[in-house]
Amino acid sequence: MKQIKAKLLLSDGIELEGYSFGYEQSCAAEVVFNTAMTGYPESLTDPSYRGQILVLTYPLIGNYGVPPFQRENNMLKYYESDNVQISGLIVSNYSEKVSHWNAYTSLSKWLIENKIPALTGVDTRFLTKHLRNNGVKSGKIEFENQFINLIDVMNENLVASVSTKEIITYGDGTNKIVLVDCGVKNNIIRKLLEYDTQVIRVPWDYDFNTLQYDGLMISNGPGDPKKCNATINNLSKAFENDIPIFGICLGNQLMALASGGDTYKLPYGHRSHNQPVRMLGTNRCFITSQNHGYATDVSSLNSSWEPFFTNLNDNTNEGIKHKIKPFFSTQFHPEASSGPTDTDFLFKDFIEKVKAFKQSK
C-alpha cells in the first residue's frame, strides 16, 4: 500500500509529519488528546468530539477494528451516535491487522467511508506533552496541494450541529423522561431505558416546559456551553418547578449557567477513563470517564446550589446539586461506554427522585 504523507500543523507553529490511513482530505479543528487505553469506536462517535482532531495517546490503535453496524432500540448497538463525530484522528501506530471476535471492518476503511482524515507515525507522546503544557490548540491535517486555513471552532454553536432535529421517543415505560439532546451519547438513553422509562428526546433549543414529564435529563455535548442560550433559558424556567433534573457533562455546565453561575475553558480539558473524583461531604471516591473542555466556576454558584463532586487531580468541579430541590449534575460520564461503571448508581438515584416526585403529586 502506498504511504501518503501529510502534516499536522498547530496554531503555535508546531509541525509533525505522519502517514495517512484515513480519508485524504485536509481538515481544520481544535486538537485535543485522550489518554484512554480502549474504546476508540465509542470515542470517535461521541458527539462531544464534534469539531476536534483527536490525538490518542495509547500507542497501538486499530488492532480490534470496529464492530458491526447493528441497530437496537433505534440506535447503533456498539456506537455512541450514528456518525463519526471527530474531524480527524492522530495516532502513533496504526495496526492494519485486525483481530477481534466482534470486528466487522477495519478502522481505516471505516474512516475512509466517513471521509475522516487520519495520520499514523506521529510522535503522540511529544504532542500530548506539548498540548498539556501549552493548552489545546487550533490545528489542521494538511495534505500536499490541499491548503486549508486554521479555524477556531469554539466560536461556533457545535451543539446545534449534533442535536436531533426532531422529537424521538424510546421505550414505553411508566416514568416519562424528557432528554434534551445537546449531543447525547447513545448509552445515556440505554441506561435510562433500564428503569421502566419512556425517553422523549428533544432538540437542544426545544421548549420542553410545554411538555408533561416526570424527569428531565440534560445531555453531554460539544463546545462552549454559553452558545446554548435557548437551553439555558428553558432550564431557568424548569428550575422554578420541582420536577427532578439530571445533567451530564455539558449538562452540568448548562445547569450552572441557568442558575446564574459561570463557566470557563480548561487549558487542555479532561478526556480519559481514569479521572478520580470525590463526592463532597464524604470519603467516597470514584474513577470516571470524561470528555470535556469547559468547567463550572464553583465560586459563581448562588446560595441555593453546592458542589456535588470534585476532581482529585486539579480540584475542578465535577458536578453540582440544589440544596433543596431534586436537581443534580455530573461533569463526568456515569453511563461510561467506554469507560468505568463506578458511578452507574446515579441513574438509579435519578429514577428514585422521579418516583418520589410522582408520588408527591
**pLDDT of 251-280, one tens digit each?**
999 999 999 999 999 999 999 999 999 999
Whether residue 84 contacts residue 114, with contact meaning beta carbons closer than 8 Å, is answered with: yes
Ramachandran region, residue 342 (left: φ > 0; alpha: ψ -120 to 50; beta: rest) = alpha
Q: Are strands 5-10 and 137-143 parallel, antiparallel or unpaired?
A: antiparallel
**pLDDT at residue 356, as a whole number:** 98
The three three-digit cell numbers of residue 152, written as one number? 477556531
Banded model confidence at residue 361, pLDDT cuts 50, 70, 90: confident
| pLDDT digit string, tens, across residues 92-147 | 999 999 999 999 999 999 999 999 999 999 999 999 999 999 999 999 999 999 99
Do the first three CATH levels of 5-155 and 158-360 match, i.e. the same topology?
Answer: no
CA–CA separation, 94 and 89 (whole Å) = 11
Choosing from 182, 228, 249, 285, the catalytic residue is: 249
The full set of domain ranges for the chain reads 5-155, 158-360
Query: pTM here?
Result: 0.97
Nearest to 108 by CA among 7, 26, 23: 23
- Known active-site residue 249: yes
Question: What pLDDT shows up at residue 3?
Answer: 87
Q: What is the mean pLDDT of the chain?
A: 97
Tens digit of each residue's pLDDT (9 = 90 or more) over 139-158: 999 999 999 999 999 999 99
**For position 359, what pLDDT does the model report?**
95
Q: What is the CATH number of domain 5-155?
A: 3.50.30.20
Residues 25-50 have a mean pLDDT of 98
Fold of 158-360: Rossmann fold (3.40.50)
Grade residue 354 by pLDDT with cuts at 50, 70 and 90. Answer: very high
- For residue 2, pLDDT over 90 is answered with no
How many CA atoms lie less than 13 Å away from 316 in the CB half-sphere? Answer: 24
Residue percentage of the chain with pLDDT more than 70: 99
pLDDT attached to residue 1? 53
